[in-house]
Amino acid sequence: MYEGPIQDLVDELSRLPGIGPKSAQRLAFHIVKADPREARRLAEAIIQAKERVAFCRECGNVAEGDLCRICRDPGRDPTTLCVVEEPKDVVAMEKAGVLKGRYHVLGGAISPLDGIGPEDLRVKELLDRVEQDGVTEVIVATNPNLEGNATAMYVAALLKPAGIRVTRLASGLPVGGDLEYADEVTLGQALEGRREI
């Protein structure tokens, strides 16, 4: 334990995901020892990101403003939605560049062990959009692991009774991995070869 501002900084840093007490200490001392301008740039970047970046009210992707770039684009087909776990998955899918529709970011996957149930995800928002926008197909592109698959099953069970075509990316993605680690060609092929759940 340290005193005053350095301990405050350690405490704040150790609240970040993936940062344990040891790493927090190392980061804190790095910042304290750094050039004052460097520390100021970091603080400024955090404040700017927090103030200017918001989440798109339609799809949940990161956005500068009310709607994200994709939801603002009239060229994107609103009747096809691609459901992903996190905004970084939108980035991965966009790099593949084959989706003509729009996205819906759930904000995670269901995982009882992590205390995440369907009510913690943007599932209700998905159902609302499907109803209001005349969506005909929902492509579930959650991660190809246990939690991603269970989430896909759950979403499919909700949407299929409404007559929506629900598809899942074709296998070929690295099993157990994350969408963001799949290369663009593989991702494009997985999308082309999607199958109905």
Partner 1 sequence: MRLSWVELRDFRNHRETRLDVPDGVVVAVGPNGEGKTNLLEGMHYLLDLASPRVGSDLPLVRHGAQSGYVRGEVETMGGRVLVEVEVRAAGANRVQVNRSPVRRKRDLRGRVRGVFAGPDDLAIGQGDPDRRRRFVDEAVAALWPARDTLPRAYEKALRQRNRLLRDWEGAPGQAPAAIEAWDAELVETGSALTRARAEAVARIRPPAAEEFLALTRHELRVSYRPSVPVDPSAPDGLEPGRVEEAFRGRLAERRGDELVRRSTLVGPHRDELELSLRDLTVRAFASHGESWAAAIALRLGLSSAVAEALGEPPVTFLDDPFSALDPERRHRLEGRLAGRGQVVVSVADEGQVPASAAAVWDVRGGVVTPRAGGEGRRAVQ
Q: Is 56 an interacting residue with respect to Zn ion (CB under 5 A)?
A: yes
Q: Is 90 an interacting residue with respect to Zn ion (CB under 5 A)?
A: no
Bridging pattern class, strands 101-105 and 77-84:
parallel
4: left (phi over 0), alpha (psi -120 to 50) or beta: left
SS3 100: coil
Out of Zn ion, partner 1, none, which partner does residue 119 contact, by CB within 5 to 8 A per kind? Answer: partner 1
- Picking from 93, 61, 81, the residue whose alpha carbon sits closest to that of residue 183 is 93
Q: Which of 24, 58, 179, 189 binds Zn ion (CB under 5 A)?
A: 58
- Picking from 88, 65, 58, 85, the residue whose alpha carbon sits closest to that of residue 140 is 85
Q: Which of 68, 173, 190, 191 binds Zn ion (CB under 5 A)?
A: 68
Minimum Å gap between C-beta 88 and Zn ion is 15
Out of Zn ion, partner 1, none, which partner does residue 146 contact, by CB within 5 to 8 A per kind? Answer: partner 1
Cβ burial, residue 181 (10 Å; 0-12/13-18/19+): exposed
Asked if 43 contacts 12 with a C-beta cutoff of 8 angstroms, the reply is no
Q: Is 10 an interacting residue with respect to Zn ion (CB under 5 A)?
A: no
Minimum Å gap between C-beta 155 and partner 1 is 9
**Cβ neighbours around 186 below 10 Å, total:** 16
Q: Which residues pair with 139 in a beta bridge?
A: 82, 167
* Contacting positions for partner 1 (CB under 8 A): 110-113, 115, 117-119, 146-147, 149-151, 153-154, 157, 176
Q: Is the CA virtual torsion 152, 155, 158, 163 positive or negative?
A: negative
Out of partner 1, Zn ion, none, which partner does residue 137 contact, by CB within 5 to 8 A per kind? Answer: none
Q: Which is nearer to partner 1, 5 or 172 (CB)?
A: 172
Q: Is 61 an interacting residue with respect to Zn ion (CB under 5 A)?
A: yes
Out of Zn ion, partner 1, none, which partner does residue 110 contact, by CB within 5 to 8 A per kind? Answer: partner 1
Minimum Å gap between C-beta 197 and partner 1 is 10
Q: Which two tokens stand for residue 146?
A: 């246990």
Q: Which is nearer to partner 1, 108 or 118 (CB)?
A: 118
Minimum Å gap between C-beta 114 and partner 1 is 9
Interacting residues toward Zn ion by CB under 5 A: 56, 58-59, 61, 68, 71
